[in-house]
Amino acid sequence: MVITGKVICLAVMANTALFSRAGTNSACRYSNIVVKASSKYKLDPYLLTALIKVESNWKPHVVSPAGACGLTQVVHKYSKYNCKQLKNPKISIWEGAKKLNYWIYKYGKGNVKIGLCGYNAGFRCKGKSPNKKGLTYAKKVVRISNRLKRRK
C-alpha cells in the first residue's frame, strides 16, 4: 500500500482516543508534508506522525522549557532556524524529519528506538546505562506509530 497524506489522515481519524479534535485537524492538514518529508529522509510517516503527537500534540506554537519549538520540538540552537521559524508547521516537520533521520541512521545505526531516544535525550542513549527517560519516550512513540498503522 502506498502511504499518502490521506492514508495518514484516516489513521489519525481512526484513533480519535489518541488525538484531540484540533490535533486531528492539524494532523490531516499537514499529512501530505509529513509523507513528503518522511520519504525524503527515509522515515516511516506513521513514526513521524506519532513523534509529532508525543512532542507537541500537534500544537505548532508550543515551546518547551528546554527551548524546543514547534510541532517536532526542535531545539533552535541545533537548527538553522530560530524558534519563530520552527513554529511554522511546514518548517518544523521538515526540520524534525531531518533531525530524526540523523538520530536513527547516524547515531542509532538504523535502530529506531535508539534513534528516538537520541532525538529526545541526546547522546545518552547508548552504552551500559542508556537514558531511561529517552527509552520510555521511544517506546511510547513506537507504540503510537504501530497503533496508527493498525488504524484501531
Tens digits of residue pLDDT in 116-152: 999 999 998 887 778 899 999 999 999 999 999 987 4
Cβ neighbors of 106 (< 8 A, separation 6 or more) are none
- Its sign, for the CA torsion 14, 15, 17, 19, is negative
8-24 pLDDT tens trace: 989 999 888 888 888 88
Read off the CATH number of the domain in which 116 is found. 1.10.530.10
Q: How many domains does the chain have?
A: 1
Q: Which domain holds residue 140?
A: 5-150
Rounded to the nearest angstrom, the gap between the alpha carbon of residue 116 and the centroid of all alpha carbons in its chain is 9
Query: 71-103: per-residue pLDDT in tens?
Result: 999 999 999 999 999 999 999 999 999 999 999
* Verdict on whether the full-model pTM lies above 0.75: yes
83, exposed or middle or buried, with CB in 10 Å at 0-12, 13-18, 19+?
middle
